[in-house]
């Protein structure tokens, strides 16, 4: 993800007790969590190849919970659009739209059936976590709708965001602002990696924590 987590922790004096990461891919941020002393982690990843990597990596670690599912607002089995060009980092439950123009090198020529569950239904002991990270290629809004009780327990939500239809039907940033404002969060940081791309990363902080 594009915004440095330690900088956000320091900037807002966050005391992170646990992390939930939806769409963790290969758990590339794990070394950062270790540096911050965070050991209680839930990793959620629906794609078979990526999940096998993290399963092998964390096998036997009782502090790390792994779920091979996707999260959304409706439970069931759905088809994911898959590209193998960039290690599956662009895989999405939504049909690629502007992504095809902005990243023509990423070709979606495969599919994978994945189980979708509500985030609220799989996170036990929600009070043990206060950082939620979402990187699900346009499906972030659906994750939040199905995980609103979990989101309400957070101090910080770090999510990929969109200012256009990167994937058809993705929640755009203004809608996300309204949704998270309704449960007490303010968007404090936003990073767009290119003026020509409609995707980026943003940070929401619980309003009561802002000085």
CATH superfamily of 5-119+132-209: Vaccinia Virus protein VP39 (3.40.50.150)
CA distances to 6, 59, 105 from 144, in Å: 23, 28, 30
% of the chain with per-residue pLDDT over 90: 95
**Average pLDDT of span 83-97:** 94
| Structure confidence at residue 85 (pLDDT) | 85
| Structure confidence at residue 1 (pLDDT) | 82
CA distance linking residue 156 with residue 44, whole number of Å: 18
Residue 114, helix vs strand vs coil: strand
% of the chain with per-residue pLDDT over 70: 100
| Cα three-residue angle 59-65-67, rounded to 5 degrees | 95
The two three-digit tokens of residue 188, written as one number:
């404090």
CA distance linking residue 211 with residue 194, whole number of Å: 30
| Alpha-helical regions (H) of the chain | 5-11, 30-35, 48-58, 98-102, 119-122, 140-145, 148-151, 173-181
The two three-digit tokens of residue 100, written as one number:
């095809």
- pTM beyond 0.95, yes or no: yes
pLDDT tier, 127 (very low <50, low <70, confident <90, very high otherwise):
very high
**Average pLDDT of span 97-119:** 97
pLDDT tier, 59 (very low <50, low <70, confident <90, very high otherwise):
confident
pLDDT tier, 62 (very low <50, low <70, confident <90, very high otherwise):
confident
pLDDT tens profile 169-182: 999 999 999 999 99
**Average pLDDT of span 9-30:** 97
Going by DSSP bridges, is the β-strand pair 110-117/70-71 parallel, antiparallel, or unpaired? Answer: parallel
Q: What is the mean pLDDT of the chain?
A: 97
| Structure confidence at residue 211 (pLDDT) | 77
| Structure confidence at residue 86 (pLDDT) | 87
User: Could you say which DSSP state residue 172 is in?
Assistant: P
**Average pLDDT of span 101-106:** 96
Long-range contacts of 48-55 (CB under 8 A, 24+ apart): 48/112, 49/88, 50/24, 50/25, 50/26, 50/87, 50/88, 53/26, 54/24, 54/26, 54/27
**Average pLDDT of span 103-115:** 96
**Average pLDDT of span 96-116:** 97
């Amino acid at each position: 993800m594009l915004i440095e987590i330690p900088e956000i922790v320091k900037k807002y004096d966050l005391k992170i007790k646990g992390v939930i990461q939806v769409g963790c891919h290969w758990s590339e941020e794990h070394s950062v969590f270790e540096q911050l002393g965070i050991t209680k982690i839930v990793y959620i990843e629906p794609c078979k190849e990526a999940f096998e990597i993290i399963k092998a990596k964390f096998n036997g670690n009782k502090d790390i919970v792994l779920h091979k599912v996707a999260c959304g607002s409706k439970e069931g089995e759905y088809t994911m659009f898959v590209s193998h060009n960039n290690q599956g980092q662009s895989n999405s439950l939504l049909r690629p739209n502007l992504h095809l123009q902005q990243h023509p090198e990423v070709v979606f020529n495969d599919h994978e059936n994945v189980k979708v569950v509500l985030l609220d239904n799989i996170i036990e002991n929600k009070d043990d976590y206060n950082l939620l990270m979402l990187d699900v290629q346009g499906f972030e809004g659906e994750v939040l709708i199905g995980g609103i009780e979990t989101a309400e327990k957070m101090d910080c939500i770090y999510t990929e965001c969109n200012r256009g239809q990167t994937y058809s039907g993705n929640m755009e940033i203004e809608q996300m602002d309204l949704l998270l404002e309704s449960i007490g969060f303010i968007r404090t940081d936003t990073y767009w990696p290119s003026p020509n791309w409609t995707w980026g990363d943003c940070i929401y902080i619980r309003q009561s924590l802002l000085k």
